[in-house]
């Protein structure tokens, strides 16, 4: 006799993205109020901070500020010293980095009434979120992104991951943070590459979802590389808002194969690996966008004028459209394997987002390899011509 018990339940996720400055200043009660509002009188909240080493070096008083910030709050115990880890993609490739967070969680007695707070770029936040999610079957985590890219894209989403077997984000989970605190002051210490790299994610989401936003980026293309605070704050806010809207209204846990927010990413992920992660993620995305934009032109979806307009914008913003490693035929063939790895990561059939028109993306389930190579030739020639013009001028 066959029997079956059916069960169904749903879980609502809710978290806010806070925009502030000087988060750990004594007069800024934003984080204190957040934690105290969610406190339990029967448990003392413990907080473990994991900080990107670049942030710690550029903000030498950060740990003392954290200690002072929580010193007079009896219900919250900030565990110090904070755990400092090497940031960037290296932390997601290093099993010892993950182990060190789990060891600290164990050592400090961080439980499910407590918090792990990550302060750093997208890689550190990915790592911290993953470590928190697998410890005690899920410890609450808070993100404090410190780069343009993490404040407008990766830090506001629901994904956490580490790399494994040479594959980007092979191990991971979908565990939203309980809150995100974007402190613009952290961006002031970024080098120029990191400041610019995050703009690529704004171009990406604007091209597939919001043409007026893309046109706004064009209008601000002179100011953004000059580290203009006003324009960058606006870019981060609008980009984060579009990402949240997609997560809220789309497929937040990626149960399907379509991932519009990965426009430009199939080649970007592979290019990061091919350059041994010397290319920043945002720089790789800029190149990936250029590839998918030119491909969209070659299949007749957008005009050459529109495609060149986008590529020139990427260049004007100080971002790359091509990498010399792609001059090699063998490397180009390796890049093409990124499509298969992308499909494996997504599951199901291959789904790549290209431009149907400016401001709107469209799913495609196959790409033509010779046409991709033609795209690379186009970008290689375009960059060489651009360099020659600059040299003459």
State pLDDT tens for residues 82-105: 999 999 999 999 999 999 999 999
Supply the CATH number for residue 330's domain. Answer: 1.20.1090.10
If asked whether residues 220 and 324 sit together in one domain, one would say yes
**β-sheet bridge partners, residue 20:** 183
HSE of 33 in the Cβ direction (CA atoms, 13 Å)? Answer: 8
Q: Kindly report the three-state secondary structure assignment for every residue of 151-170.
A: HHCHHHCCEEEEEECCEEEE
Position 7 in a domain:
no
- Given a cut of 60, whether residue 209 has pLDDT beyond it is yes
Phi and psi for 170 in degrees, rounded to 5?
-70, -40
If asked whether residues 90 and 68 sit together in one domain, one would say yes
| Average pLDDT value for residue range 323-345 | 89
Domain that holds residue 111: 16-189
Q: Which of 146-155, 165-174, 258-267, 272-281 has the lowest mean pLDDT?
A: 258-267
Mean pLDDT over the full length of the chain: 92
Predicted pLDDT of residue 262: 85
CA distance linking residue 293 with residue 278, whole number of Å: 23
Position 299 in a domain:
yes
- Given a cut of 60, whether residue 257 has pLDDT beyond it is no
Q: Classify residue 10 as exposed, middle or buried by CB count within 10 Å of its CB (0-12, 13-18, 19+).
A: exposed
Q: In the structure encoding, which two tokens stand for residue 193, read together?
A: 């590459």
Domain end among 143, 174, 189: 189
Residue 222 CA from chain centroid, whole number: 24
Contact in structure between 105 and 137 (CB atoms under 8 Å): no
Q: In the structure encoding, which two tokens stand for residue 332, read together?
A: 């180009």
Predicted pLDDT of residue 306: 97
If asked whether residues 183 and 204 sit together in one domain, one would say no
Q: In the structure encoding, which two tokens stand for residue 55, read together?
A: 């942030």
Q: How many structural domains are present in the chain?
A: 2
What ranges make up the beta strands (E) of 29-121? 45-52, 76-85, 115-120
Domain end among 189, 209, 236: 189
If asked whether residues 184 and 268 sit together in one domain, one would say no
- Given a cut of 70, whether residue 258 has pLDDT beyond it is no
CA distance linking residue 54 with residue 60, whole number of Å: 10
Q: In the structure encoding, which two tokens stand for residue 254, read together?
A: 């990626």
CA distance linking residue 112 with residue 141, whole number of Å: 10
Position 369 in a domain:
yes
What are the Cα distances from residue 371, in Å, to 153, 228, 338? Answer: 30, 39, 15
**β-sheet bridge partners, residue 361:** 355
Supply the CATH number for residue 72's domain. Answer: 3.40.50.1970
If asked whether residues 275 and 388 sit together in one domain, one would say yes
If asked whether residues 207 and 178 sit together in one domain, one would say no
36 or 257, greater pLDDT: 36
If asked whether residues 129 and 207 sit together in one domain, one would say no
pTM over 0.85: yes
Question: By C-alpha distance, which of 120, 50, 131, 135 is closest to 95?
Answer: 131
| Average pLDDT value for residue range 119-146 | 96
Position 6 in a domain:
no
Question: By C-alpha distance, which of 115, 87, 263 is closest to 181?
Answer: 115
Q: In the structure encoding, which two tokens stand for residue 320, read together?
A: 């790359």
If asked whether residues 202 and 135 sit together in one domain, one would say no
Cβ-based neighbour number of residue 75 at 10 Å: 13
Contact in structure between 50 and 82 (CB atoms under 8 Å): yes
Contact in structure between 52 and 119 (CB atoms under 8 Å): yes
Buried b (16+ CB within 10 A) or exposed e, 291-329: bbbbbbbbeebbeeebbeebbebbbebbbbbbbeebeee
Position 152 in a domain:
yes
CA distance linking residue 299 with residue 364, whole number of Å: 11
- Strands 45-52 and 76-85: what pairing? parallel
If asked whether residues 288 and 226 sit together in one domain, one would say yes
Residue for token digits 């990413």?
A: 265
If asked whether residues 313 and 226 sit together in one domain, one would say yes
* DSSP helix/strand/coil, 332: helix
Residue 75 CA from chain centroid, whole number: 33
* DSSP helix/strand/coil, 251: coil
If asked whether residues 282 and 388 sit together in one domain, one would say yes
If asked whether residues 76 and 115 sit together in one domain, one would say yes
- Given a cut of 60, whether residue 393 has pLDDT beyond it is no
Position 157 in a domain:
yes
- Given a cut of 80, whether residue 108 has pLDDT beyond it is yes
Q: For 31-44, write each residue's pLDDT tens digit.
A: 999 999 988 777 78
Position 48 in a domain:
yes
Domain end among 162, 189, 216: 189
Position 295 in a domain:
yes
């Amino acid at each position: 006799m066959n029997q079956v018990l059916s069960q169904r339940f749903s879980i609502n996720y809710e978290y806010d993205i806070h925009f502030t400055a000087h988060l750990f200043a004594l007069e800024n009660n934003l984080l204190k109020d957040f934690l105290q509002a969610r406190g339990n009188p029967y448990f003392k909240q413990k907080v473990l901070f994991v900080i990107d080493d670049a942030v710690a070096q550029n903000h030498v008083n950060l740990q003392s500020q954290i200690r002072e910030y929580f010193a007079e709050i009896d219900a919250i115990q900030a565990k110090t010293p904070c755990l400092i880890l090497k940031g960037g993609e290296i932390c997601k490739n290093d099993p010892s980095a993950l182990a060190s967070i789990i060891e600290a969680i164990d050592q400090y007695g961080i439980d499910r009434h407590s918090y792990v707070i990550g302060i750093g770029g997208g890689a550190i936040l990915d790592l911290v979120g993953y470590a928190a999610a697998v410890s005690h079957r899920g410890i609450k985590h808070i993100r404090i992104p410190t780069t343009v890219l993490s404040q407008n894209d990766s830090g506001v989403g629901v994904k956490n991951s580490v790399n494994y077997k040479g594959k980007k984000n092979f191990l991971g989970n979908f565990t939203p943070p309980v809150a995100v605190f974007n402190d613009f002051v952290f961006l002031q210490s970024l080098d120029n590459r990191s400041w610019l790299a995050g703009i690529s994610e704004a171009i990406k989401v604007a091209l597939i979802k919001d043409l007026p936003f893309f046109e706004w980026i064009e209008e601000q293309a002179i100011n953004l590389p000059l580290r203009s605070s006003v324009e960058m704050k606006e870019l981060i806010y609008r980009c984060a808002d579009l990402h949240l809207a997609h997560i809220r209204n789309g497929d937040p846990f990626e149960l399907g194969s379509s991932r519009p927010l990965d426009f430009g990413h199939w080649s970007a992920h592979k290019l990061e690996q091919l350059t041994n992660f010397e290319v920043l993620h945002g720089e790789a995305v800029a190149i990936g966008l250029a590839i998918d934009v030119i491909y969209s032109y070659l299949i007749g979806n957008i005009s050459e004028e529109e495609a060149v307009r986008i590529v020139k914008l990427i260049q004007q913003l100080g971002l790359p459209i091509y990498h010399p490693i792609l001059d090699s035929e063998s490397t180009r063939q390796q890049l093409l394997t990124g499509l298969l790895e992308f499909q494996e990561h997504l599951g199901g059939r291959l789904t790549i987002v290209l431009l149907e028109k400016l401001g709107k993306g469209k799913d495609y389930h196959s790409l033509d390899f010779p046409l991709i190579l033609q795209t690379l030739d186009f970008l290689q020639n375009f960059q060489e011509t651009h360099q020659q013009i600059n040299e003459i001028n």
